[in-house]
Amino acid sequence: MEAVIEKTDLRNLDKSGWKTFRFEEIAKKVSEPVDPNTTKLEIYVGLEHIDAGDIHIKRYGTPDDVSGGKLKCYPGDVIFGKRRAYQRKAAIADFEGICSAHAFVLRANPDVIDPKLFPFFLHSDKFMHCAVDISVGGLSPTINWGDLKGQKFLLPPKGQQAQLAELLWAMDEVIERELEVFKRINATSQIFFENEVENIKGKLLPLSKVLIPKNGKSQLPHKRDKYIGLEHIESGNYKCDSYSETSEVLAQCNIINPGDLCYSKLRPYLDKAFIADFEAISTTELLIYDTQKVSKEYVLFHLHSRPFLHYVTGKGFGTKMPRVSHTIIGEYEIKIPDNESEILNQMSSFQINVKLIKSKIASSKALQKSLINQIF
């Protein structure tokens, strides 16, 4: 990685020979309609399957999950969320499938831009700020192709693009390796927790006897500056570090205080639960809890455990966007230990390692973003 960076001096990047292109010259919008009820394709990607700032698609659904017109995508195409572009969702399809009509299926023009460089270009501040600026609408601002296709962007010569793409893919490889380490540590900690709980003595109680729902609501105009939507919560994480400003939030929201236990009732298989670090408002798709008899930390480990995920995934109601309720969650039983501190102390070492690798990932992503913006 260091050798690739050293070979490419971005601080003295000479852009005098670069040329400006309209976006319709850089990429083609592929509009091949598909009916999910009749297609033989097996993969469906909605915007909820694409993580902000990530060029990879790491989860997906099936056409049975959705209805209405969708778009076909092919390996190498980029699915770009034209709705709420500020969420920065643009990822490469490595499969033949269908995707949400709230996205553009974009195919790089290899005569203008190296397809390997194209996904990183879409994640540049230059492009994303433009996408947000031309979006229209209130609650769900959306980009019109007619507005996007004429936007102009400065690109390096084709001969230089391969070297720049090599640099960015090398950085991406670093991040992906670190994410794998993060996943392994998380998985190991959960296996350890489940084994410890299995072996301790304690009384079984339904979560309805443990969780205390908090129902505070924030009405317009919102008096808190930070808003947490489901898009801000990373699957499997114990904290939520991301948020957006509340200025454009025009609906009633939940009130979140530091220390609150938060759980996403929508698509429970996505494993979104955390303990809040700061005061905020949130989507009403989050359930907010206090606890009794045991700590919120102890309950949170259960909410991320494999047995609980299996339980709520099977109990979710609604075929298109399955969700669970207070009642469903409350029926799940956990073991109440005589001394939970023993388990929490042992889990703390895992959490220290998780924090360290998350810090490394954040630094690597910041470097990648810096590299992208130095280029574009």
Same fold, 19-155 and 201-337: yes
Mean pLDDT of 88-94: 95
Percent of the chain whose pLDDT exceeds 90 = 66
Residue 180 pLDDT level (bands cut at 50, 70, 90):
very high
Span 29-47, pLDDT tens digits: 999 999 999 999 999 999 8
Q: How far apart are CA 179 and CA 376, in angstroms?
A: 26
Helix/strand/coil (H, E, C) string of the chain? CHHHHHHCCHHHCCCCCCEEEEHHHHEEECCCEECCCCCCCCCEECHHHCCCCCCECCCCECHHHCCCCEEEECCCCEEEECECHHHCCEEECCCCEEECCCEEEEEECCCCCCCCCHHHHHCCHHHHHHHHHCCECCCCCECCHHHHCCCEEEECCHHHHHHHHHHHHHHHHHHHHHHHHHHHHHHHHHHHHHHHHHHCCEEEEEHHHCEEECCCEECCCCCCCEEECHHHCCCCCCCCCCCEECCCCCCCEEEECCCCEEEECECHHHCCEEECCCCEEECCCEEEEEECCCCHHHHHHHHCCHHHHHHHHHHCECCCCCECCHHHHHCCEEEEECCHHHHHHHHHHHHHHHHHHHHHHHHHHHHHHHHHHHHC
Superfamily of domain 19-155: DNA methylase specificity domains (3.90.220.20)
Domain locations in the chain as residue ranges: 19-155, 201-337
Please tell me the predicted confidence (pLDDT) of residue 241: 86
Higher pLDDT, 108 or 317: 108
Check whether 16 has a pLDDT greater than 90.
no
Mean pLDDT of 325-339: 93
Check whether 11 has a pLDDT greater than 70.
no
Please tell me the predicted confidence (pLDDT) of residue 209: 96
Mean pLDDT of 229-245: 87
Residue 219 pLDDT level (bands cut at 50, 70, 90):
confident
Query: In the predicted model, what is the mean pLDDT of the chain?
Result: 91
Check whether 1 has a pLDDT greater than 70.
no
Residue 319 pLDDT level (bands cut at 50, 70, 90):
low
Please tell me the predicted confidence (pLDDT) of residue 186: 85
Check whether 63 has a pLDDT greater than 70.
yes
Give this prediction's pTM.
0.79
Check whether 6 has a pLDDT greater than 80.
no
Mean pLDDT of 365-369: 93
Check whether 70 has a pLDDT greater than 80.
yes
Q: Centre a 10 Å sphere on the Cβ of residue 255 and count the other Cβ atoms it contains.
A: 18
Please tell me the predicted confidence (pLDDT) of residue 5: 52
Please tell me the predicted confidence (pLDDT) of residue 9: 61
**Residue carrying the six token digits 């553009």:** 104
Mean pLDDT of 242-251: 82
Residue 137 pLDDT level (bands cut at 50, 70, 90):
confident
**Which CATH number is 201-337 given?**
3.90.220.20
Check whether 67 has a pLDDT greater than 90.
no
Mean pLDDT of 252-277: 94
Check whether 66 has a pLDDT greater than 90.
no
The region that residue 350 occupies, defined by phi over 0 for left and psi between -120 and 50 for alpha, beta otherwise, is: alpha
